[in-house]
A and B are shown apart, each in its own frame.
Chain A
Amino acid sequence: MLAFVLRRLIQAVVVMLTVAFIAFMLFQYVGDPVTNLLGQDATVEQREQLRIDLGLDAPFPVQFARFVGNALRGEFGLSLRQGRKVSTLVVERFPATIELALSAAVIALLLGVPLGVYTALRRGSVGSQVWMTLSLVGVSLPTFLIGILLILLFAVIFKWLPSFGRGDVVSIGGWTTGFLSLDGWKHLVLPAVTLSVFQLALILRLVRAEMLEVLRTDYIKFARARGLTDRAVYFGHALKNTLVPVITITGLQLGQLIAFAIITETVFQWPGMGLLFIQAVQFADIPVMAAYLCLIALIFVLINLSVDLLYFAVDPRLRIERVAAAH
């Protein structure tokens, strides 16, 4: 157990260092910070002085160590485009993205699991075939197109819902939330639904496949032979065992949601980190790109790590195998 956790931790640290290295190389070789700060007309002496002041004359490993140290404290310098501190920018945008991603995950789970169970139990019925076809369309439709179609339908034609921004937000200790006002909720609906469609289709298909698999097993046959009601067999026995992989995948998909939020945020002009990142890519704003890269990598590494550890805790077979291998 300890060895497993340790190995995972080391792997996580290696990934983070690699990402930090890529971010560092971005800083180092893309665009010259001295020219950026001083402009073209500075003298050679001025340049050299600034180079020493900035610590750019230090050997490579020292500079990298300094960069990692700064990154650990959240220091990524100034945004080239906006001239503000990158850390402030990211902290401002963070709540918007998290609220959007969490709402989408909740929608996907609340609809995906019941629909998956339904399509598995009523296999071949018209209703379940309709849902399966819809889920295939949901997987094939690009996120941005779903967003545009929803805007066309609900914002332009019916004029029911707003189509851009977060609306009224309430600030609680630096965390801005849209959950506390009706306007905020209205603004959340379309982006959250857009972001959830792909995950919804994925969870639906996953739950269905797992459910069908479990329903074929012997212990389900045995449960039926004992005379349990359908309800007890399906929900007491089958669904419970279906949910382990579903939880894993959903956990891993949370990272996907944050990444795909880039697209949704662009479509709906949602003021989150994704929008910040896209603007940084368009204008080659290296500090913002590097900070986003490191933050996203951190989120992904943390998610993967906790899913791995959870899996280890949940699935006893993994533990037994290790004990058996140790003997």
Chain B
Amino acid sequence: MSTVLAPVKAPSRWARLADSDLWYSFRHSPTAIVAALIALLCVVCAVFAHWIAPHNPFDLATLDLLDARLPPAWVEGGSSKYLLGTDDQGRDILSALMYGSRISLFVGLASVALSMLIGVGLGLLSGFAGGSVDAFIMRVCDVMLSFPSILVALLIDGLGRALFPNAHESLAFSVLVFAIALTGWVQYARTVRGSTMVERNKEYVQAARVIGVAPLRVMFRHVLPNVLGPVLVLATIQIAGAIITEATLSFLGVGVPPTSPSLGTLIRIGQDFLFSGEWWITVFPGLMLVLIALSVNLLGDWLRDALNPRLR
């Protein structure tokens, strides 16, 4: 007599994504689609640089000084072997670009991840604990915010250099990532603190407390998922900022070690050849940098609008 109800199959993650408002808004925003395609292209070029780059710019055996300072292929004197020309040591610019953006993207993503970790952690603590802990963390934030991030990054980087004068390459990378991350965490901390204070007083948190869930577990399993939305938007926008900061530091000569040049290093090297007319050595890395930063920024703008309920 009992009719067994056919279990309703929960839609798969993909189905849920395809049905979501976010995907709808994405499909109807040409800017977002173009930006996503460009960003994807840059990421693919960077990640698979080892396989798709026409030359290996770090393999000294393949370098030929006779090929140095060749213009791009479409300019007179250019060779079809080097599509975007070569630099002063005969390295292929296109390949150097791919390897360079790999380093830029790596430093950018790593530092954003680290600053997200620090910022979200401190923000949760600040919003959850309140009192003097909160006051202290927020004062530190105020002070950090009153100095421009590039200056803070420069200082930390300079400090790292002074402390470890003969640093190994991987240490130089860590110092750089750390320097950029320490300038970015404040934004996360403030956002997370604000939403944590709202969430803290909601019924589900009280319910969890009443049934005796440990405070740490409430913090990470109940509150954290509910404050992550704005953090993701912030992270997207900060990736572009971190990549530009990295490029700036490398351009100033205090960024990545010269043996593994990022886009900023390439621009710095190229600047010396500007006056002798070899514009391609510096212009192409510059374009690549702008392309990455602009596409990530546009994606971030779109994500912010798409996730903002007030704009719907």
The reply to whether A262 and B252 contact each other, CB–CB distance below 8 Å, is yes
The reply to whether B290 and A145 contact each other, CB–CB distance below 8 Å, is yes
User: Is B78 in the interface zone, CB < 8 Å from A?
Assistant: no
User: Is A289 in the interface zone, CB < 8 Å from B?
Assistant: yes
Partner among B150, B254, B294 whose Cβ is within 8 Å of the Cβ of A260: B150
Q: CB-CB < 8 A to A262: which residues of B?
A: 150-151, 154, 252
Closest to A267 in B: B271
Q: How far is the CA of A140 from the CA of B291 in the complex (A)?
A: 9
The reply to whether B289 and A263 contact each other, CB–CB distance below 8 Å, is no
Q: CB-CB < 8 A to A30: which residues of B?
A: 159, 162-163
Q: CB-CB < 8 A to B195: which residues of A?
A: none
Partner among B162, B165, B275, B286 whose Cβ is within 8 Å of the Cβ of A145: B286
Q: How far is the CA of A289 from the CA of B283 in the complex (A)?
A: 32
Query: Which A1-38 residues have a C-beta within 8 angstroms of B?
Result: 15, 18, 26, 30-31
Q: How far is the CA of A311 from the CA of B245 in the complex (A)?
A: 31
Q: How far is the CA of A173 from the CA of B267 in the complex (A)?
A: 40
The reply to whether B294 and A259 contact each other, CB–CB distance below 8 Å, is no
Closest to B282 in A: A148
The reply to whether A148 and B150 contact each other, CB–CB distance below 8 Å, is no
Q: How far is the CA of A300 from the CA of B144 in the complex (A)?
A: 11
User: Is B253 in the interface zone, CB < 8 Å from A?
Assistant: yes
The reply to whether B158 and A289 contact each other, CB–CB distance below 8 Å, is yes
The reply to whether A263 and B252 contact each other, CB–CB distance below 8 Å, is yes
Interface flags for B241-257 (1: CB within 8 Å of A; 0: not) read: 00010011001111000
Q: How far is the CA of A15 from the CA of B147 in the complex (A)?
A: 11
The total of chain A residues at the interface (CB under 8 A) is: 42
Q: Name the segment of A39-47, A203-211, A280-288 touching the other chain.
A: A280-288
Q: How far is the CA of A137 from the CA of B286 in the complex (A)?
A: 13
Q: Is the interface of B mostly helix, strand, loop or mixed?
A: helix
The reply to whether B251 and A144 contact each other, CB–CB distance below 8 Å, is yes
Q: CB-CB < 8 A to B146: which residues of A?
A: 15, 255, 300-301, 304
B97 CB to nearest chain A CB (Å): 15
The reply to whether A263 and B157 contact each other, CB–CB distance below 8 Å, is no
Q: How far is the CA of A256 from the CA of B150 in the complex (A)?
A: 9
Partner among A31, A144, A304 whose Cβ is within 8 Å of the Cβ of B267: A144
The reply to whether A142 and B247 contact each other, CB–CB distance below 8 Å, is yes
Q: How far is the CA of A161 from the CA of B165 in the complex (A)?
A: 39
- Which one of A137, A281, A300, A301 has the highest number of Cβ atoms from chain B below 10 Å of its Cβ? A281
Name the interface size band of chain B.
35 or more
User: Is B192 in the interface zone, CB < 8 Å from A?
Assistant: no
The reply to whether A300 and B162 contact each other, CB–CB distance below 8 Å, is no
Query: Which B245-303 residues have a C-beta within 8 angstroms of A?
Result: 247-248, 251-254, 267, 271, 274-275, 277, 279, 282-283, 286, 289-290, 293-294, 297
User: Is A65 in the interface zone, CB < 8 Å from B?
Assistant: no
Q: CB-CB < 8 A to A18: which residues of B?
A: 143
User: Is B240 in the interface zone, CB < 8 Å from A?
Assistant: yes
Closest to B294 in A: A140
The reply to whether A255 and B267 contact each other, CB–CB distance below 8 Å, is no
The reply to whether B151 and A259 contact each other, CB–CB distance below 8 Å, is yes
The reply to whether A263 and B143 contact each other, CB–CB distance below 8 Å, is no
Partner among A137, A142, A152, A255 whose Cβ is within 8 Å of the Cβ of B289: A142
Q: How far is the CA of A149 from the CA of B289 in the complex (A)?
A: 13
Q: Is the interface of A mostly helix, strand, loop or mixed?
A: helix
User: Is B208 in the interface zone, CB < 8 Å from A?
Assistant: no
A312 CB to nearest chain B CB (Å): 17
Partner among A144, A151, A277, A281 whose Cβ is within 8 Å of the Cβ of B248: A144
User: Is B30 in the interface zone, CB < 8 Å from A?
Assistant: no
Partner among A140, A142, A155, A263 whose Cβ is within 8 Å of the Cβ of B297: A140
User: Is A243 in the interface zone, CB < 8 Å from B?
Assistant: no
User: Is A293 in the interface zone, CB < 8 Å from B?
Assistant: yes
User: Is A109 in the interface zone, CB < 8 Å from B?
Assistant: no
Q: How far is the CA of A289 from the CA of B124 in the complex (A)?
A: 35
Q: CB-CB < 8 A to B277: which residues of A?
A: 156
Query: Which A134-171 residues have a C-beta within 8 angstroms of B?
Result: 136-137, 139-145, 148-149, 151-152, 155-156
Q: How far is the CA of A139 from the CA of B150 in the complex (A)?
A: 15
Q: CB-CB < 8 A to A278: which residues of B?
A: 154, 252-254
User: Is B304 in the interface zone, CB < 8 Å from A?
Assistant: no
Partner among B148, B244, B271 whose Cβ is within 8 Å of the Cβ of A142: B244
User: Is A78 in the interface zone, CB < 8 Å from B?
Assistant: no
Pairs A-B, 4 closest by C-beta atoms: A281-B158, A284-B162, A259-B148, A30-B162
Extra A-B contacts (16), CB below 8 Å, given A136-B294, A142-B244: A30-B159, A30-B162, A141-B290, A142-B248, A142-B289, A142-B290, A144-B248, A145-B267, A148-B267, A151-B274, A259-B148, A260-B150, A278-B154, A281-B254, A284-B158, A293-B155
Chain A residues close to B by CB (< 8 Å): 15, 18, 26, 30-31, 136-137, 139-145, 148-149, 151-152, 155-156, 255-256, 259-260, 262-263, 266-267, 277-278, 280-282, 284, 286, 289, 293, 296-297, 300-301, 304
26 cross-chain CB contacts under 8 A: A30-B163, A136-B297, A137-B290, A140-B240, A141-B290, A142-B244, A142-B290, A142-B293, A143-B248, A144-B252, A145-B290, A148-B267, A148-B286, A149-B283, A152-B283, A155-B275, A255-B146, A259-B150, A260-B150, A262-B150, A263-B150, A263-B248, A263-B251, A277-B154, A281-B254, A300-B146
